[in-house]
A and B are shown apart, each in its own frame.
Chain A
Amino acid sequence: MTFVFPRSIFAIGLCFGFVHSGLAADRVQFNRDVRPILTENCYYCHGPDPKHREADLRLDVREAALEEGAIVPGKPSDSELIARILTEDEDDLMPPPDSHKILKPKEKEILQRWVAEGAEYQGHWAFEKPVRPQVPAIQEAATPIDAFVLERLKTEKLGLSPATDKRTLIRRITLDLTGLPPAPEDVEAFVADASPQAYERVVDRLLKSPVYGEHMAAQWLDFARYADSHGFQTDSSRTMWPWRDWVIHALNENMPFDQFTIEQLAGDLLPNPTLSQKVATGFHRNHRINGEGGIIDEEWRIENIIDRVDATGATWMGLTLGCARCHDHKYDPITQKEFYEMFSFFNNIDETGVIRGGSNRTGGNPGPSIYVPDAEQQKTLAALTDDLTQAEAAVKAAEKTLPALLAAWEPKFKKDLAESKPQWEPLMPETVSSTGGVTFSRVEDGTYLAGGPTPAKATYVIEGAIPEGGFSGLRLNVFPDPSLPEGSVGRNSNGNFVLTRIEAEIRAPSLKQPLKLTFSEAEAVFSQKGWGIESLIDATLAKAAKRESTKGTNRGKGWAVEGTTRKEPNQAMVLVPDLVSVPADARITVRLVHDTLNNHQIGRFSLDWCSVPPQMVTLVGDGAAPADIRVILDLDPAKRSAKQKQTLTAFYRTGFDHPVKAADTALATARKKREGFEMRLPSVMVMQELPEPRTAHILLRGEYANPGDAVSAATPAVLPPLPEKAPRNRLTLAKWLVSPEHPLTARVWVNRQWERFFGKGLVKSSENLGVQSDPPSHPELLDWLATEFMQSGWDMKHLQKLIVMSATYRQSSARTHLPASLLERDLENRLLARGPRLRLTAEAIRDQALAISGLLDPKIGGPSVRPYMPEGVWDETSVYGDLRNYKPDVNGGLYRRTLYTIWKRTAAPPTMLLFDSSSRETCTVKRSSTNTPLQALALLNEVTFVEAARVLAQRMITEGGASAEQRLDWAFRRALGRPPDAHELSVLVAGIDRQWKRFQSASAEAEQLIQSGEAPLAANIAPAELAAYTVTANVILNLDEVLTKE
């Protein structure tokens, strides 16, 4: 066997990752040449995972491979590995034919040569700390980056392309750093600025621009799987935009990446964390949260934590940790145990892992969550807190007078009591009916049982006589019944009901109009959390509750009783503020309105009414005093137990008017005001540790119900150790990720920045730097950038500036001057012999159209907005949750930058998906970039783009000049930063002429076309002219060059 390796194999035949620095004729290098072959073809069965290991042979560890005789260094002919890959016997051949893996002849040759040269192994490059390489001494290199790139190009006898022209360059850099096109003035200023610093000044200006942070944030939102909804079945709303605004702000402020990391992973664990640092921890609450009926909480809490481990691995380390969930990682040296040790860091959040009850339907932020007031709101909140403190002090002072007041009250009350009659009388209905076809049958005990259909909404109407005298309120008694769903109290399939409100009116011959009763107080024996009885009577509160429910706090509207689990009788009362006088021959009509949730109606009920003054009424008990109070009153005060004294005091304190009650009421009001204000503040979900950490276990086969050995928080052994003394918590983990010892974090970040500007990372598999990753095209450049990034103090803007200042970045992206052989070999431009030419992102495509037309609203941050979306976008496949019946905003929200568009995960903004955005369901660190007919349809026909074309056309006509040529020149400068050339002008001018003529004889069509969108129509432009220009502007906005960063 001879080992002749013509240089050409390496130079042309292999993928570019292998082609390195002219070393091809030198020794085979394990990382560069051998490892990719072994990982792709051998490690699945002969790698790190013992469960799938065949023949007890592992090839990823040199000693093991030698011991088994698979490899005999220096002797390929004695090595079983080599024999097995060369054999023609199908039974012996490796990889086995049924694996469908086939070694190429070149790969076989590499393996033979490697064994012949001694079979030296190397650790995986990405797991070794980057060492700062020497910058190659290349005279013509303008920057260190260029030196590395040129060194590589020279081995191919190539150089950089010429610098691109200034107009293309400023459009490229402005789109890259801000996601928006340059203003025509900025282009002209740059073109006119002949100084050598002209370009750097542009870069500095852009890096300082507030739109920079918005553009940079967009990708981070993909990593964080940020959205405005919970993402599973019901997919109701949540509020996480304060976290999104934190990201924009941090990026604009150029927060160092280490701090950016620490605050998001563990801001809550910093000493005396600020509000902003707590908000930052929303990063790992952005995952989906399940609320489907019937789920087992623990299963989904576990899934969320696994999601956090995956997202941390992918975002910071470029590792696929999730592969070790069920078994040891197939390729990377990460064991299943190590996976659950990482899991342990995120296992201690004070959370249930699911979203339940009203919040699952109407939206909300399952805890832990915090309110996020802005500066003004913080002031108001402080004032309200002061009021609360004062009211508390007033209560303390008043309490001192309580014993004396009580002693004076007791004898008088005893006397009143002796004279009183029973407080609740049954209301004997003459008719009980309902909307929606519900029928009622009277049960022997006088209750009414609902039957017949269960309509979505129903109002029960009960009518009966009421005797002359006083009226103070109604009591509703509900009962379970075997005929009801779940044998419970409500008619919904889960046994629950929601009573929206109680209306009542009294009619009598002596009354000209029915006397409508207004209830001011309500009480229930039991209310479901978030569905208190008070929303039935307090209109203000009810309104606030409704508003809050759409904003995402845990408030429902109406009274519910947990009928799913509490299948027991319940009572509620509503009282008027003052005793109402009932005339003779009066009749009362009571309406029980159920219109909050579909089908949630009461199943079986009766009503009582009351004539005792409202202040005296109690919900339960026969007289003005509950039975237990009567017992206490009958006792000699000296013989009352402490508990009895407490009960009596509480009864007096809450039920009668006196200074202590006044103070109590004032306190309750102050508290309610503060809470009410808080409720209207935006909230955000955050991370917050449990006082005692949960024990994490290895989960066998990755199943939540299958725990194995307990594990504690730790990091994988292949990576540097944690500081010995440091507590094993998220803060230590975060600091470890950004320690200078960590081999991955800086490389991952700089590689992604390279990818941002050039389309492909130096490591093409930017999502994975593990053993299966693609080898870096420029390993030394990667390490130089990584060490530079760390040495600069993790300065994100510094790193980006280094890249964009390079001649490599500033090259022309045209291919016309390059040899066809190069283009064919280097489709992906990994050699960097030309500049990047890439389609814009989904966000940038829409933002740019808004900017070119001048529609863009520059407001930064705040709640998500609702731009145009197709009719019924949320309703075609779901009738669940609160995100339904999409309506575009009427003002402002139509023209905000795309990262503010409301994101419902199960029905995401369709145009965004067409342009390859992530779905935001899981952490996505890389998007595809496709080119499809559906994209063409969106850009041609979606109202966003047609309106942008119409408004651009208006401005061409009103601002662009008098002639078609001038107007086109104006539009091209806005869209592309350059004037049109003669050919472009001739095509478009002819088009305008044709279209104008066409619309002059088709005025109805012209009128229709110019009505696109809500933006005001310019006065004084003939519809035919505007329509003609709209067609042309539509063509301009669809130009490939417009959609592309050149």
Chain B
Amino acid sequence: MIPSPISALHPSNRRTFLERSASGLGLAALGSLMSEGSATATVPLAGFPHKPIKAKRVIYLFQSGAPSQMDLFDPKPQMQAQFGKDLPESIRKGQRLTTMTSGQKGFPVAPSIFKFAQHGESRAWISELMPHLGTVADELCFIKSMHTDAINHDPAITFFQTGRQLAGFPSMGSWLSYGLGSQNRDLPAYVVLTSFGSGRPNDQPLYDRLWGAGFLPTQHSGVKFRNTGDPVLYLSNPPGMDRALRRDSLDQLSELNQHRHALVGDPEIEARIAQYEMAFRMQASVPDLTDFSDEPEHILDLYGPDVKRPGSYAANCLLARRLAERDVRFIQCFHMGWDHHGGLPKAIQGQCNDTDQATTALIKDLKQRGLLDDTLIVWGGEFGRTIYSQGTLTETNYGRDHHPRCFTVFLAGGGIKPGMSLGETDDYCYNIVQDPVSIYDLHATMLHVLGIDHNRLTYKFQGLDARLTGVEGAKVVKQILA
């Protein structure tokens, strides 16, 4: 049984927390721990949560590069009859295009060459590209009516992660860390895992800012686990220094810092002592976390053979489950390689081979451990793709350009209604005809199931109450709430 993180960190229990976290440091450290500039990011803001908590943590499976919705989840069989015909202007409606296709002479409709079938009791449409995912169809909640403002990757993924197309704003995980604090005293509140896709190995890059804290204090930044060397930067002691020796040196350090504290009385010193102790605990907790040797073979098999390759999407999914078990607040896996301007049929198969089994395994694995109930899973990219082919269209080959007007994401787990689909797109999978959901709406909904009123998760920046969900107004998507 996982203790409720909120009650554990309720103000009345802060004494307990401090005693545990700071090796017996007393309440004197409280002021420092709570003040700007020295927070350990472990304590929720006053007044949080605002609402009942449906999900205690998030696993966000970000498919970077933008997967093609009409080849995966939003079937348009009626497009077969339109093969090669130009996209009608009545559909395109003068929309701006990227300069990759704006000079194209025509916009030939490229129907998906992949077969779709309905799965589960919910009769969810899933393409043959994702054979595993069909087996958990009834856990999923599709939103086929997502839309965004940006048409290029960098601004679009930045928008998704921070609510703004331009740099400088906090990522959603940082907002959660800031608002809700951490539930685990040995691990960061926000962990990022990255993997390269095999569908398009030289695909779109990722940027520090996507998990950055923006104008929030730095400790709310996502900690990106590395795929080479130490998973957390500088985790290992230098060669030649074992854990006992590190303990010995930290004892000396702590003794001298306490000695200084007695002389100058700055509570910041006590906070620093506590941080060194947490660092020491992380030196044990992180290797324990990333060591899969305690996973039985049938679990490894569930995630597929890739799971044994560190840095793969499958390995990251298993790691995400292990992070969820340890109550890390926000876990984000970025899988690159979905940007298929040309040769889409082959490239998307590579991407689905990378991800289908592992995504499915993660959902099953969480479910069998009872963790799916209070873990929110989100799967999706930064925008959608066009029905028309970028470059030459043949019977077996096509490419698709960026498309901001509609795309599909799916959610599962805590607080979300399983086995449903929201929103509809037109015949060309080009415009939304029902239930549009903006990125701000999605953010607001995610915050809602985490117990946060998105309007009240604010931070004073340059004199304004800045928030993740922007100024134009966002709405919680009530239809998908359990």
A residues contacting B by CB (< 8 A) are: 100, 231-235, 288, 290, 292-296, 303, 314, 320, 323, 330-331, 482-483, 485-487, 493-495, 565, 598-599, 705, 765, 767-768, 770-773, 813-816, 818, 823-824, 827, 837, 839, 870-872, 876-881, 905-908, 910-911, 913-916, 919, 921-922, 924, 928-938, 940-943, 946, 983-984, 987-988, 991, 994-995, 998, 1004-1012, 1027, 1031-1032, 1034-1035, 1038-1041, 1043-1044, 1046
Contact = CB atoms under 8 A, between A and B. Distances in A.
Given A294-B99, A1005-B242, 17 more contacts: A295-B99, A487-B392, A870-B226, A870-B234, A871-B229, A876-B228, A907-B208, A913-B212, A914-B233, A930-B38, A931-B40, A934-B232, A941-B235, A942-B233, A1008-B238, A1040-B272, A1041-B260
Contact of A938 (B206, B226, B233): B233
A194 to B, nearest CB: 25
B463 A933 contact: no
A100 B456 contact: yes
Nearest to B201: A879
Interface string B10-45: 000000000000000000000100011111110000
A1040 B257 contact: yes
Given A320-B464, A991-B248, A1011-B239, A1035 B275 contact: no
Contacts of A1035: 249, 252-253, 256
A937 B282 CA distance: 9
A294 B402 contact: yes
Contacts of A881: 205
Contacts of B224: 876-877
Contact of A937 (B37, B233, B255): B233
B168 interface: yes
A472 B49 CA distance: 81
A235 B205 contact: yes
A1044 B234 CA distance: 22
B241 A1009 contact: yes
B209 A919 contact: yes
Nearest to A980: B256
Contacts of B232: 934, 937
A931 B38 contact: yes
A82 to B, nearest CB: 25
Contact of A294 (B152, B223, B246, B334): B152
16 contacts: A293-B100, A768-B462, A877-B205, A880-B205, A919-B167, A928-B218, A930-B38, A931-B38, A933-B276, A940-B234, A998-B245, A1008-B240, A1010-B240, A1039-B260, A1040-B257, A1041-B260
Contacts of A932: 40-41, 218-219, 275
A751 to B, nearest CB: 15
B34 to A, nearest CB: 10
Interface in B446-482: 453, 455-456, 462-464
The 3 closest A-B pairs by CB, nearest first: A772-B463, A1009-B240, A878-B205
A772 B464 contact: yes
B204 A233 contact: yes
Interface stretch (B85-93, B262-270, B298-306, B353-361): B262-270
A768 B466 CA distance: 14
B415 interface: no
A1034 B336 CA distance: 39
Contact of A1038 (B41, B253, B261, B463): B253
B233 A870 contact: yes
Interface residues of B, number: 101
Interface in B244-302: 245-246, 248-249, 252-253, 255-257, 259-266, 268-269, 271-273, 275-276, 278-279, 282-283
B208 A906 contact: yes
Main secondary structure of the interface of B (DSSP, over half): loop
A723 B455 CA distance: 45
B77 interface: no
Nearest to B165: A303
Given A930-B38, A1031-B241, A288 B167 contact: yes
A495 B100 CA distance: 11
Contacts of B444: none
Contacts of A916: 217-218
Contact of B234 (A292, A919, A938, A987): A938
Contacts of A1046: 264
Interface in B368-403: 391-392, 399, 401-402
Interface in B191-207: 194, 196, 201-207
Q: Which of B203, B261, B268 has the most CB of A within 10 A?
A: B268
A231 B456 contact: no
B166 interface: yes
A751 B62 CA distance: 43
Given A880-B205, A936-B276, A485 B252 contact: no
B462 A910 contact: no
Contacts of B216: 928
B255 A987 contact: yes
Given A906-B209, A913-B218, A934-B232, A1006 B240 contact: yes
B98 interface: yes
Nearest to B185: A933
Given A816-B265, A919-B208, A937-B234, A1031 B276 contact: no
Nearest to B227: A876
A33 to B, nearest CB: 18
A1005 B152 contact: no
A936 B462 contact: no
B268 A931 contact: yes
Contact of A100 (B218, B336, B455): B455
A1034 B276 CA distance: 13
A448 B22 CA distance: 73
A933 B455 contact: no
Contact of A767 (B226, B252, B462): B462
A332 to B, nearest CB: 8
Contacts of B266: 813, 815, 837, 1044
Contacts of B278: 933, 936
Nearest to A874: B205
Contacts of B272: 931, 936, 1040, 1043
B236 interface: yes
A290 B101 CA distance: 18
B355 to A, nearest CB: 17
Contacts of B255: 987
B233 A933 contact: no
A814 B430 CA distance: 66
A233 to B, nearest CB: 4
Contacts of A931: 37-38, 40, 219, 268, 271-272, 275
Nearest to B228: A872
A482 B392 contact: yes
A942 B235 CA distance: 9
Interface string B432-452: 000000000000000000000
Given A877-B207, A941-B236, A983 B248 contact: no
A936 to B, nearest CB: 4
B151 interface: yes
Contacts of A772: 462-464
Nearest to A992: B252
A706 B179 CA distance: 36
Contacts of B153: 233, 292
Contacts of B168: 921-922, 924
Contacts of A837: 264, 266, 268
B342 interface: yes
Contacts of A331: 463-464
A869 to B, nearest CB: 10
A956 to B, nearest CB: 15
Contacts of A935: 275
A1007 B100 CA distance: 57
A969 to B, nearest CB: 15
Nearest to B203: A879
A493 B103 CA distance: 15
Contacts of A231: 167
A303 B166 contact: yes
